[in-house]
Amino acid sequence: MVFGAVEAGGTKFVVAIGDETGKVIKRETYPTTEPGETMKYVEQFFKQYEDELEAIGVGSFGPIDVRKSSPTYGYITSTPKLAWRNYDIVGALKNAFHVPIGFTTDVNAAALGEVTLGAAEGLSSCMYITIGTGIGAGAVVNGKMLEGYSHPEMGHIMVRRHKHDRYTGNCPYHDDCLEGLAAGGAIEKRWGKKAVELADNEEVWNLEAHYIAQALMNYSLILSPERIVIGGGVMKQRQVFPLVRQKLKTLIAGYIQLPDLEEYIVPPKLEDDAGITGCILLAIQTKQEN
């Protein structure tokens, strides 16, 4: 009995087989090119386990259609990656394997991974935010991944611009939303260097924390999660964590009670495995529901 997992990312696909505890048994990574090519590798990988495969969990880059009653349920929808636009990823896997398929965002899957086996283990709610090329966030509330009419897109919330920040923002939809001002791409365009090369520039990370702290204030006020896990390439700059905690404290201004900030805002414990682990756990949940 094994569970399949697909972490579908904009640059790479990670596929894995896991056991009933969520542990990765075998994994492979393929570049995200076009569906005809990438999905062929995904299918070849799972074919080896076809006899034991119970279900597959897919955590995908988005936007995706997670509304069960929708005619395009299971599709990757309005992604800027043209080859994947309106692609029926769940349908393709279902046709190939005839097992139940769970489908959610990459960040919802990562939240499920962290709350079950990672930095928020034992809690009933947590958020997972990735600050990488873009910004995405998912959440688990009362043990369930957060979805409503669709899935949350918490990277695109509006934040107040810092009074000295003249960068216009680079979100193709909203210019200066959180992602447009604070994702890795925005840092690189604003400062003209790769984020990793700016490690010693305090101004960069103070400004970054200014935006992240506002987002965390909004998430805290709206969702009241027990823990917020922040991963993604940009957060490899660990000096940002204390700056974010300090600015969040100032913004909240004592209005609501938060957990101890050292425990509230943390890096992922599963590190780069949060997403793929969450996809295995999603497969397990999906099997139980079917």
Binding residues for ligand ADP (CB under 6 A): 9, 11, 130, 132-133, 184-185, 194-196, 232-234, 236-237
DSSP-assigned states of every residue in 7-71: EE-SSEEEEEEE-TTS-EEEEEEEE---HHHHHHHHHHHHHTTTTTEEEEEEEE-SSB---TTST
What values do phi and psi take at 127, rounded to 5? -115, 150
Near Zn ion by CB under 5 A: residue from 67, 81, 156, 236: 156
Using CB under 5 A, which of the segments 57-65, 87-95, 150-158, 242-250 binds Zn ion?
150-158
The one of ligand ADP, Zn ion, none whose footprint includes residue 27, by CB under 5 to 8 A per kind, is none
CB of 222 to Zn ion, least distance (A): 17
Residue 177 interacting with Zn ion (CB under 5 A): yes
Could you identify the residue written with the tokens 């709350």? 115
CA dist 78 and 63 (Å) reads 6
215 binds Zn ion, rule: CB under 5 A = no
Q: Report what 9 binds from Zn ion, ligand ADP, none; CB cut-off 5-8 Å by kind.
A: ligand ADP
Q: Would you say 64 or 195 has its CB closer to ligand ADP?
A: 195
Q: Which does 234 bind (CB under 5 to 8 A by kind): ligand ADP, Zn ion, none?
A: ligand ADP
156 makes contact, choosing from ligand ADP, Zn ion, none, with CB < 5 to 8 Å by partner type, with Zn ion
Buried-exposed string 157-176: b where 16+ CB fall within 10 A, e elsewhere: bebeeeeeeebebbbeeeeb
What 3-state class would DSSP assign to 265?
strand
In whole angstroms, the minimum distance from the beta carbon of 106 to ligand ADP comes to 8
Q: How many CB atoms lie within 10 A of CB 285?
A: 21
Query: Contact between 64 and Zn ion (CB under 5 A)?
Result: no
Whether the Cβ atoms of residue 45 and residue 276 lie closer than 8 Å to each other: no
94/236 with CB nearer ligand ADP: 236
174 near Zn ion, rule: CB under 5 A: yes
Between residues 73 and 133, which has the closer beta carbon with respect to ligand ADP? 133
The structure tokens listed for 33 are 């090119």
Q: Are strands 53-60 and 101-105 parallel, antiparallel or unpaired?
A: parallel
- Residues of this chain that interact with Zn ion (CB under 5 A) are 156, 171, 173-174, 177, 179
